[in-house]
């Protein structure tokens, strides 16, 4: 960027970038400001004289208190956390093993199986939710966390497998062969030599799976019914809207607090998350 | 190695771990958990779904076989036709904008400046925060009476009276499209940025020395090299957008007057809302041919790139 005057740098790079960041982040600012805004200010029409959109002089914790006292919000957080963690662990376990097999072993139909897993990677939840709801009911899993813990891996495993295949392929074969020459079995070579090297990949897949299960909506909406079993996205949607009345304060407080666990996990592992995204599109 | 393992197996009783020395047995063992879960909760529901769509099952009422009647029925259903049109429109428009804006943002990020890592971390937020929760923030911003958007447009002198964003069919569709673009741009930008970073700057310099203008450098050097990543990102995004549910469910619930339904939201309304399970399953399955086509294109493309 040595060529060109300073104003060009501002017009072509800095100002557009600032606008992008502003638009991408503004809804979150709106979420935060609404959470702390008292109802009296919240329900003031936009064309009122004292409409003051970007700031509040009387911050309040009422909406957050409402969330914890009048709804099962704490319960929803725990449910979501539990479901996200367990389904992530199951998916990582399956995905790492399957990814290893598909990337490193020679066996009949390896190519076909790889393609099959890739295809399931692309099956959206909305294609199967109605028959799946029937199956969940027949298995007597309806309205339990297990309905989600067992079904979330269907979209997490293909992703983890795909990502891990990429990682395993990048690890040199010699590493394993050395261990095998020293007398390690295939299983031991995998567990003690290859898996430790693949830890960054496992971490990426895990972070990604965690955020995906926290984000999942339609299965949770259809498979769960009692208020105490719900996850955050479904609980907020179904319990803070009564008919046509939206409880905007608590809704935004719920949206804010419900986003925080994902944001924290993400902030610790940004690099792994980004390499997860790029790994998933490169394959 | 494998040969000795097999001959061992024939002479002595086989310890279980020894059997894992055979690649085929090991592969089978490693793939078993995945196969069970995917078989049980993807393959089986798919077959069930097809069977269900051929009956007239409702909630609590076991139905009988009716052939393709459900598909005939939705074919004649004007709301279904609107949903099909909406889905294509929604997918097409958002994809074009996400690609254009995502590429622009990727180019803006593909240089050195202070705080780059921080900016990159922050712009991904729309993509990682649960969609339902961030969509509620948008819905609140679009509220006709308390809308900060209306206030801003009014202050800028663009509008003189309130705009009922989600109450008008066309504006509601536009609002949904805006939110989807907002959510998808970071994914495009970060993926394309990764693609850009693999392109050697020397190529750009060589083209510049040969007298190529910036636009020509982009079109003849950067774009062709970026195409493989772009294709994959676009196809992923198309599938996700085509089958979208949460965003529309929260923003409009398919309204006003069923004008903004997509396949998935209409399937939910009929199958779960009204309880006509088999008709809902049929609407969901109507997505399948299109998804199948997209997946085939993607597989063929990947194969072509790999064999090149």
Instruction: Report the C-alpha gap between A44 and A50 in whole angstroms.
Output: 8
Chain B, window 55-94: residues with a beta carbon less than 8 angstroms from a chain A beta carbon: none
The pLDDT, as a whole number, for residue B171 is: 93
Global confidence as pTM: 0.90
The answer as to whether A107 is a domain residue is: yes
A48 and A157 assigned to the same domain? no
- A76 and A145 fall within a common domain: yes
The answer to whether residue A117 is domain-embedded is: yes
In a domain, A33, yes or no: yes
Instruction: Answer yes or no: is pLDDT of B6 > 80.
Output: no
Of residues A107, A237, A263, nearest to B132 (C-beta): A237
pLDDT digits (tens, 9 = 90+) for B84-118: 999 999 999 999 999 999 999 999 999 888 888 89
Using a CB-CB cut-off of 8 Å, the residues of chain B touching A119 are 295, 299
Q: How far is A90 from chain B (nearest CA, A)?
A: 9
Interface contact flag, B151 A115, Cβ < 8 Å: no
Q: How far apart are CA B269 and CA B260, in angstroms?
A: 12
- What SS3 state is found at B55? strand
In a domain, A273, yes or no: yes
What does the longest C-alpha to C-alpha distance in chain A come to? 81
pLDDT (0 to 100) of residue B182: 97
Q: Which residues 243-272 of chain A have a CB within 8 Å of chain B?
A: 246, 248, 251-252, 254-255, 258-259, 262-263, 266-267, 270
User: Number of structural domains, chain A?
Assistant: 2
- The CA-to-CA distance between both ends of chain A, in Å, stands at 33
* Chain B residues touching A124 at Cβ < 8 A: 239-240, 242-243, 264, 287, 291
Interchain proximity B243–A126, CB inside 8 Å: yes
User: What is the per-residue pLDDT for B197?
Assistant: 87
- The reported pLDDT for the residue numbered B3 is 43
User: Is the pLDDT reported for residue A83 higher than 90?
Assistant: yes
**Residues 128-167 of chain A whose Cβ lies under 8 A from any Cβ of chain B:** 128-135, 150-151, 153-154, 157-158, 161
A24 interfaces chain B, CB cutoff of 8 Å = yes
Indicate if A144 and A89 belong to the same structural domain: yes
Judged against a pLDDT cut of 80, whether residue B13 lies above it is answered with no
Asked if residue A92 and residue A26 are part of one domain, the reply reads: no
- What whole-number distance in Å separates Cα of residue B238 and Cα of residue B47? 25
Q: Could you tell me the residue range of the domain that residue A125 belongs to? A: 63-282
Q: Is the pLDDT of residue B70 over 60?
A: yes
Q: Do B146 and A44 touch (CB under 8 A)?
A: yes
A167 occurs within a structural domain:
yes
Which uninterrupted H or E stretch holds B39? none
CATH for the B69-307 domain, from 1.10.3720.10, 1.20.1740.10, 3.40.640.10, 3.50.50.60: 1.10.3720.10
Look at A106 and A224; give whichever has higher pLDDT: A224
Residues 121-160 of B with CB under 8 A from A: 121-126, 128-134, 136-138, 140-141, 143, 145-148, 150-152, 154
- Domain final residue pick, A16, A34, A60: A60
Q: Which residues of B touch A17 (CB under 8 A)?
A: 105, 108-109, 119
- Most confident range (mean pLDDT) of A31-35, A42-46, B59-63 is A31-35
Rounded percentage of chain B residues whose pLDDT exceeds 70: 93
A200 touches chain B (CB under 8 A): no
Q: Which residues, at least 6 apart from B160, have a Cβ–Cβ distance to it below 8 Å?
A: B154
Asked if residue A88 and residue A33 are part of one domain, the reply reads no
Contact criterion met (CB < 8 Å) for B162 and A31: no
A46 shares its domain with A159? no
Task: List, in sequence order, the alpha helices (H) in chain A.
Answer: 6-9, 15-35, 39-42, 62-70, 73-104, 110-121, 125-138, 145-151, 153-170, 173-181, 186-188, 195-197, 199-215, 218-223, 232-239, 248-268, 270-282
Give the pLDDT confidence score for residue A175 in this predicted structure.
87
What ipTM was assigned to the predicted interfaces of this complex?
0.91
Task: List CB contacts (< 8 A) between A209 and chain B.
Answer: none
CB B68 within 8 A of CB A138: no
How does residue A282 score in pLDDT terms, banded at 50, 70 and 90?
Answer: low
More confident residue, A173 or B247: B247
Tens-place pLDDT, residues B157-188: 888 888 888 989 999 999 999 999 999 999 99
Instruction: Compute the average pLDDT of residues A149-177.
Output: 90
Residues A112 and A235 grouped into a single domain: yes
| Residue A1 belongs to a domain | no
**Is the pLDDT reported for residue B19 higher than 80?**
no
Q: In this structure, what CATH number is given to the domain that contains residue A171? A: 1.10.3720.10
pLDDT band at B1; cut points 50, 70, 90: very low
Q: What is the pLDDT of residue B306?
A: 63
Q: Give the integer Cα–Cα distance in Å for B281 and B277.
A: 6
Mean pLDDT computed over every residue of chain B: 88
| pLDDT tens digit sequence for A124-135 | 999 999 999 999
pLDDT band of residue B272 (cuts 50, 70, 90) is very high
Q: Are residues A90 and A207 in the same domain?
A: yes
* Cβ atoms within 10 Å of B192's Cβ, excluding its own: 25
For the cut 80, the answer to whether the pLDDT of residue B147 exceeds it is no
Average pLDDT estimate for A17-30: 94
A157 and A42 together in one domain: no
Do both A40 and A78 map to the same domain?
Answer: no
Residue B45 binned pLDDT confidence (cut-offs 50, 70, 90)? very high
Q: Show residues of chain A in contact with B232, CB under 8 Å.
A: 281-283
- CB distance B48–A131 less than 8 Å? yes
Residue A125 parent element (H or E)? helix A125-138
A260 is a domain residue: yes
Residue A22 has pLDDT above 80, yes or no: yes
Going from N- to C-terminal start, the domains of chain B cover 2-6+19-53, 69-307
Q: In this complex, how many residue pairs, one in chain A and one in chain B, have their CB atoms less than 8 Å apart?
A: 291
pLDDT score for B150: 84
Q: Please tell me the predicted confidence (pLDDT) of residue B15.
A: 60
Q: Are residues A169 and A36 in the same domain?
A: no
Same domain? For A43 and A137 the reply is: no
CB A111 within 8 A of CB A237: no
Residues A187-214 pLDDT 10s: 888 888 899 999 989 999 999 999 999 9
Q: Crossing angle of helices B78-109/A15-35, nearest 10°?
A: 120
């Amino acid at each position: 960027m040595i060529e060109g005057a300073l104003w060009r740098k501002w017009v072509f790079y800095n100002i557009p970038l600032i606008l992008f960041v502003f638009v991408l982040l503004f809804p979150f600012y709106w979420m935060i400001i609404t959470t702390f805004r008292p109802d009296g200010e919240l329900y003031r029409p936009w064309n009122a004289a004292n409409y003051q959109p970007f700031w509040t002089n009387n911050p309040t914790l009422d909406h957050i208190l409402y969330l914890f006292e009048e709804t099962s919000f704490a319960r929803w957080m725990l449910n979501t956390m539990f479901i996200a963690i367990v389904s992530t662990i199951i998916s990582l376990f399956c995905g790492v093993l399957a990814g290893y097999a598909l990337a490193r072993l020679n066996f009949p139909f390896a190519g076909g199986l790889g393609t099959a897993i890739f295809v399931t990677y692309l099956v959206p939840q909305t294609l199967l939710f109605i028959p799946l709801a029937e199956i969940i009911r027949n298995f007597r899993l309806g309205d339990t966390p297990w309905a989600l813990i067992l079904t979330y891996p269907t979209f997490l495993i293909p992703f983890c497998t795909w990502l891990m295949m990429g990682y395993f392929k990048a690890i040199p074969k010699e590493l394993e062969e050395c261990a095998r020459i020293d007398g390690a079995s295939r299983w031991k070579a995998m567990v003690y030599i290859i898996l430790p090297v693949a830890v960054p990949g496992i971490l990426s897949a895990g972070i990604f799976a965690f955020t995906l299960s926290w984000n999942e909506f339609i299965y949770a909406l259809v498979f769960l019914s009692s208020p105490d079993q719900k996850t955050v996205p479904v609980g907020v949607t179904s319990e803070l809207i009564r008919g046509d009345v939206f409880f905007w304060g608590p809704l935004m407080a719920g949206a804010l607090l419900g986003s925080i666990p994902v944001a924290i996990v993400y902030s610790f592992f940004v690099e792994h998350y980004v390499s997860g995204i790029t790994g998933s599109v490169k394959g | 190695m494998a040969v000795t393992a097999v001959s061992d197996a024939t002479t002595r009783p086989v310890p279980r771990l020894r059997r894992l020395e055979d690649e085929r047995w090991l592969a089978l063992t490693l793939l078993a958990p995945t196969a069970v879960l995917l078989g049980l909760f993807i393959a089986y529901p798919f077959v069930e779904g097809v069977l269900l769509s051929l009956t007239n099952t409702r909630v609590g009422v076991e139905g009988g076989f009716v052939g393709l009647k459900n598909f005939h029925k939705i074919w004649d259903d004007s709301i279904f036709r609107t949903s099909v049109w909406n889905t294509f429109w929604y997918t097409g428009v958002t994809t074009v904008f996400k690609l254009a804006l995502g590429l622009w943002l990727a180019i803006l990020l593909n240089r050195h400046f202070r705080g780059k890592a921080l900016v990159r971390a922050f712009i991904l937020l729309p993509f990682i925060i649960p969609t339902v929760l961030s969509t509620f923030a948008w819905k609140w911003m679009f509220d006709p009476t308390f809308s900060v958007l209306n206030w801003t447009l009014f202050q800028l002198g663009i509008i003189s009276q309130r705009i009922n964003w989600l109450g008008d069919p066309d504006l509601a569709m536009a609002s949904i499209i805006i939110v989807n673009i907002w959510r998808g741009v970071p994914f495009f930008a970060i993926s394309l940025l990764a693609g850009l970073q693999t392109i050697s700057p020397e190529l750009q310099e060589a083209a510049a020395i040969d007298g190529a203008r910036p636009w020509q450098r982009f079109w003849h050097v950067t774009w062709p090299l970026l195409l493989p990543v772009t294709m994959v990102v676009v196809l992923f995004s198309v599938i996700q957008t085509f089958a979208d549910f949460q965003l529309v469910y929260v923003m409009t619930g398919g309204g006003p007057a069923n004008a903004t339904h997509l396949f998935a939201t209409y399937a939910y309304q009929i199958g779960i809302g009204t309880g006509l399970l088999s008709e809902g399953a049929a609407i969901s399955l109507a997505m399948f041919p299109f998804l199948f086509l997209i997946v085939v294109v993607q597989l063929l493309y990947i194969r072509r790139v790999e064999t090149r």
